[in-house]
């Protein structure tokens, strides 16, 4: 079979253009990997130590060796629109010929429709698969259409190793060997730690090349990355099968020896195969030259040849040294095997719990996610950073869609002192795998700031609130806070000013009121500009879509501003929210409106005059007291039943509880009757609070007095109201909102407050 021995089988991403020939496998460094770095494992033919085992790799070199892998964004993107995976063709004058354009491919109506779908949503995996199927059905021999769809799809989902193989098969069918190799080189650049992609690549090399050195070099490149993977046995088996076909027994023995160093699947089988090989072949056949010198086999044979003596009369004398050497050979490998089995016992539980070691867009179940976290917890205790890196790389293949694992990877590498590896993982996360998830960009911005890359942090924030999630409040706030930390107050205010200006241009901005609240708070607390803070807050009066969290925050800010309180402004805002004549309260429950009204009443009780209190109280009673009285309330019915029971007991003087009153209480608590109004003076929302002149509002949950304003609104207002921006981000990215949990003012807890010894009801009168 005619072979093209000059085809490149590797791409040096640091020096060669994408798709160009980087080196010739027949002359290149056999230890070179897809990124121009040395592999992090021992290769075949490496020196063996004196006990027959392979020398351990230098752990200190791993940080540089793992500088880039698994689909770095820049490297993957550089293939888009490149010279169609191959070296540029040239004419007779040596000038490059223009490459065919994707636009020259004619699309069917269905292809055009599917292209519009994936263009609108590049993460629609099912639409991509339908497009690939449709393209393959219509493309026939049109390699341009196939390249277009596979290049676009694999740029979004580079970890789908099966589609890399399909792409390579198309290139082999329609173009040639060189194109296939270039597709596989792109594949191992994208998913370096996939056993399957190396397996497919090596199978292709075996079927294509006759030179064993080329094929062995490729196996060694793959095993350098995935040879210690628990599931790497399929690649090792392919290597063994190839060496057996060549009857290269010494190479085969070295492969078995290397396998026994690592806790991989079917380790028992490999150990038995090595023993069978050693028992069926002469020791001289399975030893390398270095090992033969260690065991003295070569010197003994040479001495026998010089003396011309075969010792036929003493067979034990000639066989004894070989038997001893064989026993020693097996014994040394058995020690390696036992050590690997011991380590396997520690990780077997984690490995068996990994049900999906490959990438897929479908979410993983919680037990499997938890198993990955537990496995990483275990491996991070190892001193060998190589094990840590390789497990993380396996993890971010299966869990590529989860920001939490990328963030953990970055933090782990930073903790271990490898900022280069941390930056590499972060780049892949933010540009390829979770590029549309806001939390990874927030983390990236903070990470860059902490490591001195202020411009990078600034770019991350701007990308978040300008491109990815327009008007993303949290990114705006954090960006402004960062500028303030850097001592640039003008830039900090400019971030808010630009965001507010952009929101004012919108007809119905849901974000603007919250943004104004945040800016006012920032101006007062950080910049100490009270005048500008109050001026910013005043503009809220012009807004139509004021929400409950916004009003809570406005009242809170007004309560902490050290100046005269603008009671008229607050009263007008609350009236717009709660009255039926205005549409501003539509969409909010009666309870929300009642709670806002109650908060204003408590504010006025501290800072208002009698006139303002009367006005607000009259409105509150008119709007809510009558409506509340007709609402069904199981709690009220139970309390009424207990009051009725106490009245009956008082009249009769009986000591036994009246049956049929409260089905949930066999002994109803006896306590003087109380009015419903006294327990719910401010409505259901403020039922647990009782006001004492000396202390303000009393918090029954904490059993200690607090200032009224702080008890009503919390130490800080709700920072990011969910309804203001929840439509912009997936559910799991929304911030958790703080809610007040108020305890109902019941007879039981009031009695416990006044006298803890009376906590339990009694029938003794």
For 615, phi then psi, to 5°, come to: -65, -45
Which pLDDT score is estimated for 94?
45
Spell out the domain ranges in the chain: 109-297+321-345
DSSP secondary structure of 531-572 = HHHHHHHHGGGG-S---HHHHHHHHHHHHHSSS---HHHHHH
Residue 542 has pLDDT above 80, yes or no: no
Work out the end-to-end distance of the chain between its first and last CA atoms, rounded to an integer number of angstroms: 108
- Distance in angstroms (rounded) separating the CA atoms of residues 692 and 244: 91
In angstroms, rounded to a whole number, what is the distance separating the alpha carbons of residues 714 and 552? 10
Do 446 and 461 contact (CB within 8 A), yes or no?
A: no
Considering the chain, what is the average pLDDT of its residues? 73
Could you tell me if 593 and 623 are in contact, meaning their C-beta atoms sit under 8 angstroms apart? yes
* 748: its two tokens: 């039981």
pLDDT above 70 (res 758): no
Q: Residue 175 has what pLDDT?
A: 85
d(CA 146, CA 85): 13
- 10 with 32: CB under 8 angstroms? yes
Predicted local distance difference test score (pLDDT) of residue 199: 97
Tokens for 184, please give them.
Answer: 């596989």
Distance, in Å, from the CA atom of 715 to the CA atom of 736, rounded to the nearest integer, reads 17
pLDDT digits (tens, 9 = 90+) for 481-508: 999 999 999 999 999 999 999 999 888 7
pLDDT band, residue 539 (cuts 50/70/90): confident
The pLDDT assigned to 388 comes to 96
What is the pTM (predicted TM-score) of this model?
A: 0.68
The CATH class, in words, for 109-297+321-345 is mainly alpha
Measured distance CA(54)–CA(45) in Å, rounded: 9
In this structure, what DSSP letter does residue 67 have?
Answer: S
What residues contact residue 612 under an 8 Å CB cut-off, 6+ apart?
Answer: 567, 571, 604
Whether the per-residue pLDDT at 146 is higher than 70: the answer is yes
8 A C-beta contact, residue 747 and residue 760: no
Tens digits of residue pLDDT in 235-254:
999 999 999 999 999 999 99
Q: How far is the C-alpha of 106 from the C-alpha of 462, rounded, in Å?
A: 39
Instruction: Evaluate whether 683 touches 624 at the Cβ level (below 8 Å).
Output: yes
- Taking CA 445 as the corner, what is the angle to CA 441 and CA 448, rounded to the nearest 5 degrees? 130
287 burial (CB, 10 Å; 0-12 / 13-18 / 19+) is buried
Mean pLDDT of 363-389: 95
Residue whose structure tokens are 């993380």 = 392
Q: How many CA atoms lie within 13 A of 243 on its CB side?
A: 21
Angle at 227 between CA 226 and CA 229, to 5 degrees: 65
Band (pLDDT 50/70/90 cuts) for residue 587 is: low
In 423-513, DSSP assigns E strands to none
């Amino acid at each position: 079979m005619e072979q093209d021995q000059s085809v490149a089988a590797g791409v040096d991403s640091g020096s060669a253009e994408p798709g160009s020939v980087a080196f010739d496998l027949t002359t290149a460094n056999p230890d070179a990997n897809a990124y121009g770095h040395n592999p992090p494992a021992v290769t075949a033919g490496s020196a063996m130590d004196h006990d027959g085992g392979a020398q351990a790799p230098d752990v200190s070199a791993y940080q540089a060796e793992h500088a880039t892998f698994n689909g770095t964004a820049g490297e993957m993107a550089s293939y888009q629109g490149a010279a169609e995976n191959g070296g540029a063709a040239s004419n007779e004058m040596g000038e490059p010929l223009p490459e065919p354009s994707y636009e020259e491919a004619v699309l069917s109506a269905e292809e055009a429709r599917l292209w519009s779908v994936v263009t609108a949503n590049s993460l629609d995996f099912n639409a991509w698969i339908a497009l690939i199927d449709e393209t393959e059905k219509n493309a026939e021999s049109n390699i341009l259409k196939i390249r277009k769809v596979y290049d676009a799809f694999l740029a979004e989902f580079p970890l789908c190793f099966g589609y890399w193989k399909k792409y390579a098969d198309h290139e082999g069918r329609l173009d040639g060997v060189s194109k296939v190799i270039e597709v596989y080189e792109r594949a191992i650049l994208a998913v370096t730690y996939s056993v399957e992609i190396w397996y497919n690549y090596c199978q292709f090399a075996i079927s294509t090349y006759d030179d064993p050195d080329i094929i062995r070099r490729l196996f060694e490149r793959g095993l350098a990355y995935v040879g210690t993977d628990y599931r790497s046995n399929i690649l090792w088996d392919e290597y063994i099968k190839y060496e057996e076909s060549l009857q290269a027994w010494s190479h085969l023995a070295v492969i078995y020896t290397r396998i026994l160093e690592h806790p991989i699947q079917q380790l028992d089988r490999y150990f038995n195969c090595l023993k069978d090989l050693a028992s069926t072949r002469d020791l001289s056949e399975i030893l390398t030259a270095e090992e033969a010198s260690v065991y003295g086999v070569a010197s003994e044979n040479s001495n026998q040849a010089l003396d011309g003596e075969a010792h036929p009369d003493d067979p034990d004398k000639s066989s004894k040294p070989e038997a001893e050497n064989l026993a020693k050979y097996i014994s040394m490998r058995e020690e390696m095997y036992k050590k690997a089995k011991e380590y396997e016992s520690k990780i077997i539980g984690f490995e068996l719990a990994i049900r999906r070691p490959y990438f897929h867009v479908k979410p993983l179940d919680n037990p499997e996610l938890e198993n990955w976290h537990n496995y990483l917890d275990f491996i991070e205790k190892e001193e060998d950073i190589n094990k840590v890196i390789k497990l993380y790389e396996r993890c971010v293949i299966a869990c590529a869609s989860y920001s939490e694992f990328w963030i953990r990877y970055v933090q782990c590498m930073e903790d271990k002192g490898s900022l280069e590896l941390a930056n590499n993982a972060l780049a892949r996360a933010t540009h390829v795998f979770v590029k549309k998830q806001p939390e990874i960009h927030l983390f990236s911005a903070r990470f860059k700031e902490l490591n001195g890359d202020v411009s990078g942090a600034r770019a991350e924030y701007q990308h978040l609130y300008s491109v990815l999630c327009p008007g993303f409040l949290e990114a705006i706030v954090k960006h402004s806070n960062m500028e303030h930390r850097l001592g640039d107050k003008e830039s900090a205010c400019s971030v808010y000013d630009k965001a507010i200006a952009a929101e004012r241009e919108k007809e119905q901005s849901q974000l603007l009121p919250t943004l104004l609240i945040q800016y006012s708070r920032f101006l007062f607390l950080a910049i100490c500009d009270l005048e500008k803070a109050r001026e910013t807050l005043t503009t809220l009066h012009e807004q139509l879509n004021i929400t409950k969290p916004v009003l809570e925050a406005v009242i809170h800010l007004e309560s902490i501003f050290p100046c005269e309180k603008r009671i008229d402004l607050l009263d007008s805002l609350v009236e717009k929210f709660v009255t039926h004549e205005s549409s501003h309260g539509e969409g909010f429950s009666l309870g929300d409106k009642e709670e806002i009204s109650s908060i204003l009443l408590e504010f006025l009780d501290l800072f208002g005059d009698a006139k303002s209190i009367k006005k607000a109280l009259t409105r509150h009673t008119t709007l809510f007291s009558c409506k509340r009285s007709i609402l069904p309330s199981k709690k009220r019915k139970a309390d009424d039943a207990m009051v009725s029971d106490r009245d009956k007991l008082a009249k009769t003087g009986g000591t036994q509880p009246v049956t049929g009153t409260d089905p949930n209480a066999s002994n109803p608590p006896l306590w003087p009757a109380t009015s419903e109004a006294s327990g719910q003076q401010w409505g259901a929302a403020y039922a647990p609070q009782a006001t004492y002149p000396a202390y303000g509002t009393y918090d029954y949950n904490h059993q200690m007095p607090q200032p009224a304003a702080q008890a009503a609104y919390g130490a800080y207002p709700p920072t990011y109201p969910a309804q203001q921006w929840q439509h912009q981000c997936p559910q799991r990215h929304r911030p958790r909102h703080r809610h007040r949990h108020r305890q109902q003012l019941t007879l039981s807890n009031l009695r416990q407050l006044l006298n803890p010894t009376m906590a339990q009801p009694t029938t003794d009168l």
